[in-house]
Chains A and B, each alone.
Chain A
Amino acid sequence: MGSSGPINGLISARDAGLVACQRCGQVHPLQTRYCTRCDGPLQSRDTESLQKVWAWLIAGMIAYIPANIYPMLLTSTLVERSESTIIGGVIELFDHGSWGIATIVFAASVLIPVGKFIAIMYLAISVQRQSAANRHERHKAYEVVEFIGRWSMIDVFVVAILSALVQLDTIATVNPGIAAVSFALSVIFTMLSAQAFDSRLIWDADRMQQ
């Protein structure tokens, strides 16, 4: 990296004494407090970003615990009434030979949230430590986390749709369990956590390295 200029000709907005609106992209002078276009707050760097990340992340992780302990789906049919947790459902599907579905559910409900937790924690820690390692990968990881976070809601959507559709009184009824709410909260919290992460901090870390 160049020592007195932007590397590869890239300078950050702050380097240029500017601040960009995160919402509409309008660039303003550094001291501007509110966006002249969309009236959004302007911050060159979110100083509380990491706090928010951690807070939301912890909240998400807390919510994730009951999401796994309590039943996700309350299924009542004529012959049986079953409650299945996420892991229990996965195991059941696996036992029944529905490997594909089991894999999808497992990925959406376990791998992705847990992966998100780990990724966000990694990002947050690395930014805090101003680690310079894997800059590109961290950016990619952040993008992936941001992108994939919404897909974790697939479980919640499935539960919501099933609950809405399968209400046939005594014949078959599907009701969301506590875990569905918890899981939804967990996903929401982690998405918020991912959003609260100010990716520009990664740039600063890069820059500090140089």
Chain B
Amino acid sequence: MSNSEPTGPAPLDVRPVKPSIWRRLSLVWLVPLVALAVSLGAAWQNYADRGTLITISFENASGILAGETTIKYRDVTVGEVEDIEFSDDLAVVLVRARIERNVAPYLDDDAQFWVVRPDVSVRGITGLETVLSGVYIEGNWDTEADVAQFNFTGLEQPNLIRANQRGKTVVLRAEDGGSIAAGAPVLHKGIEVGYLEAPQLSLDGQQVIVNAFIESPYDRRITSSTRFWDTSGFSISFGASGVSLDVNSLASLIEGGIAFDTVVSGGAPVSDGHRFDIFANEQSARDSLFTDPNAEVLEVAVLFEQSVSGLTTGSEVRFQGIRIGEVSQLSAIVVGEADTAEVRLQAVLAIEPSRLGMGADATVDDAMELLSDFVARGLRARMVTGNILAGTLLVELVTVEDALPAIMTLTSGLYPIIPTTESQISDVAATAEGVLARINALPVEELMDGAINLMDSIERLANDEYTRAAPASLVALLDEARDLVASDDVQGIPRDLRVVISDLDGLVKEATEAGLISDIDAAVTTAAQVAENIEIATRNLPQITADIETFIAKANQLELEALVASTTQTLDSIDALVGSDDALALTATASDALASLRTVLDGIVEGGAIENTNEALASANAAAQALEASVGTLPDLVERASRLVAQTEAVVNSYSERSRFSSETLATLRAIQEASDAIFSLARTIERNPNSLLIGR
């Protein structure tokens, strides 16, 4: 090695002396040491600060990115998603996130996580920042540290209620969630005092459950007598005052809304989670004061064999005409097995025990017992028509008298089953069809035929010569009667009577002359009275005759058309007989009867009683003449009698005048009238029974 030039300087031992390694150590080694220390320190710091690992399970991880998506609490980033993976069974997505250590202890039972996404609704736009920055996970928990949790189930929808918010949460039940949207306002007297959370189906799927949060201090307005109703959309009502259009806020128009009011006072304060029903409108809410939504309901099933079309969820259930519940569910189920399997339509009835007349503290079991008892005694369910026009049905529980024995089936199926009986459904379509069928079945053609026949018969009858002859016969009959009355014989009766009376007068005079001289004046007076009576009688006789003539004239004037019309009406009413030949025969018979009557009259005229009467009168006349002859020898008497008669006539003539003796005269006249009546009745008796003159009775 050291074979350097000899002329050069002595070779140096350039190899450095090696002192101890520590002394040779350069300060520059501090640099890597510091670097290492810093690196290790940073690494440890990083490890120490990386936060608590929590796991949130979501249905899906849409928008969530590992390493990017942050977790925010009240808009402050408190963590970051570290990893996203599936659970073992792929059921959920597990999002693992690091939460800052100082926040982690607060993540207890009430911690909730949800993914904030952009949301555009009528109430505004939220989460807009996530359009650009991507979604983030919002967490919410209260400020009290409890037992820290590390596994959470993420909410699919944002929870509207913040854990720190003061207010009250009530549970609302609705039949239909169509008009309810998450975030919809809860109004009280028009003021927005809360909001709804996302509606959910109840566990049995029968109802929609939605939590409503009422902010403090408005939550104090909620008592057990508070009623909630749906104010969504708009309502149109027609009334006497016209059309009323009721529109609430635009927000509630689009996404629905719930209003509440405490209708009556005296309600008890409610706690969180109290259940209320949502009524369809304010009116029904106010009407429903007696419905207790917290009351338990007894659910029983009814299996119908026929169609339940028209029966809907919410249809009434009536017992003896009183609403005791409603239909809560309709479905088809299969009963029986194998070959005997049938499909039945099952209606589940939700019955409120309190409406069965049981006490307020009656339990469902009590009601069940009562119903079982009723069923054993013949209670059956049936469908009856609720509204014939709408075709709606309702379920009625009725007691059937002669029901086949049955019991409530408690064991099979989900609900106890009430046996059914025949339903009373009067479907409007079926009814109309029945009406049409009946109309169709009417013998219209026969009716028309009958009517035509009737008309024909009437025409035939009217045209029948006998019918036409009937008025003529009647006229002839009347003519006959008139002739009879007007005949000389009849006319002669008064004349004959006058003769008789004059003869009688003569007789009386003779008697007076002959034997009763002392009382002659009285006798004469009496005779005069008699004579006067007879005079009056004879004066009345022409009047009678005139009356008879008037009667006959009236009879003559009878309107033949009216008669024919009457006849026609009569014939109308007996249409069954009209068509028969007997009617024609009857007409003929009637004509015959008239003819016979005429014959009888003819007989009477020709040789009947009147002539006999005349004969009797003639006999009386003869007797009188005989008497007259016997007294003809007493001319003075006759003369005096004549004077008396003349005097009497004068007296009679004076009757017409008003005299101062009028009262006496009237009395006298009454007496004369009586006497003349007696004579008249005598005359009538004679007329009726001429033989009495002959027989002497």
Contact = CB atoms under 8 A, between A and B. Distances in A.
Contact of B132 (A47, A79, A178): A79
B607 interface: no
Given A4-B3, A189-B35, A208-B1, A51 B26 contact: yes
A51 B24 contact: yes
Nearest to B16: A47
Given A14-B14, A62-B36, A51 B31 contact: no
Contacts of A3: 3
Contacts of A206: none
Contacts of A51: 24-26, 28-29
A52 to B, nearest CB: 5
- From B1, B25, B32, B34, residue with most partner A Cβ within 10 Å: B32
Interface in A62-104: 62-63, 65-66, 78-83
Nearest to A17: B9
B412 interface: no
A187 B201 CA distance: 64
B557 interface: no
Contacts of B25: 51
B445 interface: no
A15 B39 contact: no
B293 interface: no
Contact of A83 (B8, B30, B39, B67): B67
Contacts of B134: 79-81
A174 interface: no
A56 B16 contact: no
Interface in B111-138: 132-134
Contacts of B31: 55-56, 59, 189
Interface string A154-194: 00000000000000001000000010000001000100000
Contacts of A14: 14
B26 A48 contact: yes
Contacts of B43: 66
B35 A63 contact: yes
A37 interface: no
B606 interface: no
A52 B5 contact: no
Contacts of A189: 31, 35
A47 to B, nearest CB: 5
Nearest to B5: A4
Contact of B35 (A62, A78, A82, A210): A62
A45 B14 CA distance: 9
Given A48-B24, A51-B25, A66-B39, A58 B14 contact: no
Contact of B14 (A56, A78, A79, A204): A204
A177 to B, nearest CB: 13
B28 A48 contact: yes
Nearest to A46: B26
Contact of B39 (A45, A65, A79): A65
Contacts of A15: 4, 8
B42 interface: yes
A210 B32 CA distance: 36
A178 B134 CA distance: 24
Interface string B636-667: 00000000000000000000000000000000
Contacts of B456: none
Nearest to B9: A17
Nearest to B132: A78
Contacts of A196: 28
- From B4, B35, B133, residue with most partner A Cβ within 10 Å: B35
B3 A56 contact: no
A30 B30 CA distance: 31
Contact of B42 (A4, A66, A82): A66
B68 interface: yes
A185 B132 CA distance: 35
A55 B39 contact: no
Contact of A5 (B5, B35, B132): B5
B35 A185 contact: yes
Given A62-B35, A63-B39, A189-B35, A55 B14 contact: no
Given A5-B5, A17-B9, A185-B35, A55 B29 contact: yes
A177 B34 CA distance: 20
Contacts of B4: 4-5, 15
- From A17, A55, A79, residue with most partner B Cβ within 10 Å: A55
Nearest to A5: B5
A162 B32 CA distance: 30
Interface in B7-53: 8-9, 14, 16, 24-26, 28-32, 34-36, 39, 42-43
Contacts of A52: 26, 28
B70 to A, nearest CB: 9
B659 to A, nearest CB: 144
- From B26, B34, B132, residue with most partner A Cβ within 10 Å: B26
A66 B25 CA distance: 27
Interface in B71-102: none
Contacts of A59: 31-32, 34-36
17 contacts: A4-B3, A4-B5, A5-B4, A14-B14, A17-B9, A45-B14, A47-B16, A48-B26, A51-B26, A52-B26, A56-B32, A58-B32, A58-B35, A59-B34, A66-B39, A78-B132, A80-B68
The 6 A-B residue pairs with the shortest CB-CB distance, nearest first, are A59-B32, A58-B32, A51-B26, A59-B35, A55-B28, A78-B132
